[in-house]
Amino acid sequence: MSFKDLLGIDDIPTEDIEEIFSLADEMLEVIKTGSGEANNKIMATLFFEPSTRTRLSFEAAMHRLGGDVISFADAKISSVAKGESIADTARVVGEYADIIIVRHPWEGAAKIAADHTDIPVINAGDGGHEHPTQTLCDLYTLKKEKGKIEGLSVALCGDLKYGRTVHSLAYGLAKFGLNIICIPGEGLEMPSHVLEKMEGDYNYSPTRIKPRDAKSLMEEADVVYITPSKSHQLSLFTDKDADIPIERDATQIMSKIDALYVTRVQKERFAKSEEGGGAKARYPVVNKNFLKNASFKETLVMHPLPRIDEISYDIDEDPRSMYFRQAARGVPIRMAISALLLGTRTLKGSSPKKTDNYEIYKNSRGVKCSNEKCVSTNETQGYLIPEFHLISHQPLVLRCVYCGHIIRPQYVGNSKSGKYFHFASSRVKWIGAKNLTLFNSREEADQAGFHP
């Protein structure tokens, strides 16, 4: 195996993903017969946030492999409630188990755990960041139902801002070069750092439909399909400010979608300012009437679950409804990935992990991650030094290694000379990465003892 941990979907080389699906197929047989291959192995499930599917399917997967599971019934009764760090928790649990599964509200928490133990760690969802095993279930479902992944069009709908499942899925789909259409709820658009990663790492830019156009589009779906060329109907989508000619493209886009991936509003992740309705909690419901549109004859309706009211119960028996199948496939998929990381299985043609080409910037002084939900801004025990990938030297762009948020420091210090410069200064390019100290303001640089 080319990776010790599974923290983000990027950890798995694209070529290995299809092999993991073949292994999941084999695991369907193991479920019937049992293999005992993880006999004597222990999985620790550390869930600091609620879960039904991810936790129970991981635990079922481990039992199906013949292994055991240890856990705490509730994170509130673990020593984290006494102030123990994620690092210490992982270090200790790493002595009790052979693999750790972590879910945590802070973005990057699973990486901290992985950095502090020698045993494999799987990210079972870290805040609004990533949920890579859900993406494996989603891609596996596309493959099973459509017979292929390449060449498909997938619309990501709903809370694209806080939905960790759509972030991992967007990267996963971009890896395969699928056509991705973003249809966000109002105020819940795909974050810029996710779009920047898609652009920078995969040279991929999804089609984006503005929330208000999406609303018309979804609510008037019949109109869109039946007579897409009539001018009075096209005016539904007219938007002078649109980046793309919405009135034509949206109509064409909606008639070619292979899967509609719907997500719930992640209210628990709203910032204080959004709680009163800054981000709209509602968007069109996918129901029987919606699916009558002939455009959606072959369209799969997917959802990571849990749903609230964005998918009506009246389509549960519809053969296009995939959400319970996605959830069921969590067991063979998580058996496959657990067996791989435990070393009881290997991939035949395993590709080496594409190592990040970016230099690391790590410094206890100067810039910190600006994301208030990042583990690096929340873990207060003092061991965690902010760390970034240096995406670009000029202009200076850094990406937090924990949560993926982008920062653009305004001032650049040279720790050798003790001088600092504005980021646009031509002098910046002469400062080697190891001497860089980055600041958000002059005041910060002055306080750190640097001179202009």
**How does DSSP assign 344-384, residue by residue?**
SS--TTPPPP----SEEEE-SSS-----TTBHHHH--SS--
377 phi and psi, to 5 degrees? Answer: -100, -5
Q: Which of residues 163-182 bind ligand CP (CB under 6 A)?
A: none
Binding test (CB under 6 A) with ligand CP, winner from 125, 206, 284, 366: 125
**Applying CB under 6 A, which part among 47-55, 113-121, 206-214, 418-426 lies near ligand CP?**
47-55
Sign of the C-alpha dihedral computed for residues 197, 338, 343 and 348 taken in this order: negative
| Residue choice 5, 8, 53, 415 for contact with ligand CP (CB under 6 A) | 53
Site for ligand CP, residues 299 to 318, rule: CB under 6 A:
304-306
Instruction: Say if residues 66 and 344 touch (Cβ distance below 8 Å).
Output: no
Do the Cβ atoms of 58 and 31 come closer than 8 Å?
A: no
At closest approach, how far in Å is the CB of 48 from ligand CP?
12
Q: Which is nearer to ligand CP, 41 or 334 (CB)?
A: 334
Nearer to ligand CP, 51 or 287 (CB): 51
The contact pattern for ligand CP, residues 411-450, with x = CB under 6 A and - = no contact, is ----------------------------------------
Report DSSP state, residue 286. B
Q: Which two tokens stand for residue 156?
A: 């990501």
Q: What is the 3-state composition of the chain as percent helix, strand, coil, each rounded to the nearest 5?
A: 40, 15, 45
134 binds ligand CP (CB under 6 A): yes
By CB under 6 A, which span of 4-12, 45-53, 290-298, 392-400 interacts with ligand CP?
Answer: 45-53
Q: Which residues of 370-392 are buried (b: 16+ CB within 10 A; e: fewer)?
A: ebebbbbbbbeeeebebbbbbbe
Quick one: which of 35, 45, 54, 263 contacts ligand CP (CB under 6 A)? Answer: 54
Size of the site for ligand CP (CB under 6 A): 10
Q: Give dist(CA 264, CA 262) in Å, integer.
A: 7
Least separation in angstroms between CB 83 and ligand CP: 26
Sheet holding 411-414, edge to edge: 419-422, 411-414, 436-439
Give the end-to-end CA distance of the chain in Å, rounded to a whole number: 49
User: Closest distance between ligand CP and the C-beta of residue 261, in Å?
Assistant: 12
Length of the chain: 452
With beta carbons less than 8 A apart as the criterion, state whether 262 and 157 touch: yes
Alpha carbon 352 to its chain centroid, in Å, reads: 22
Give the nearest distance from C-beta 121 to ligand CP in angstroms: 17
Q: Which is nearer to ligand CP, 64 or 131 (CB)?
A: 131
Interacting stretch for ligand CP, rule CB under 6 A, among 2-10, 51-59, 313-321, 336-344? 51-59
CB-nearer residue toward ligand CP: 60 or 242: 60
| Backbone torsions φ then ψ of 9, nearest 5 degrees | -65, -25
Measured between alpha carbons, how far is 100 from 257 in angstroms, rounded to an integer?
37
Among 51, 179, 233, 312, binds ligand CP (CB under 6 A): 51
Region of 50-58, 77-85, 186-194, 314-322 interacting with ligand CP (CB under 6 A): 50-58
Phi, psi of 401 (to 5 degrees): -70, -15
Give the span between the Cα atoms of 16 and 11, in whole angstroms.
10
Q: Which is nearer to ligand CP, 65 or 333 (CB)?
A: 333
Amino acid code (one letter) for 221: A
Q: Is 71 in the site for ligand CP (CB under 6 A)?
A: no
| Shortest separation between residue 64's beta carbon and ligand CP, angstroms | 18
Count the neighbouring beta carbons within 10 Å of the beta carbon of residue 74: 10
**Residue 120 binds ligand CP, judged by CB under 6 A:** no
Tell me whether residue 53 or residue 116 sits nearer to ligand CP (CB atom). 53
CB of 356 to ligand CP, least distance (A): 26
Binding site for ligand CP (CB under 6 A): 51-54, 125, 131, 134, 304-306
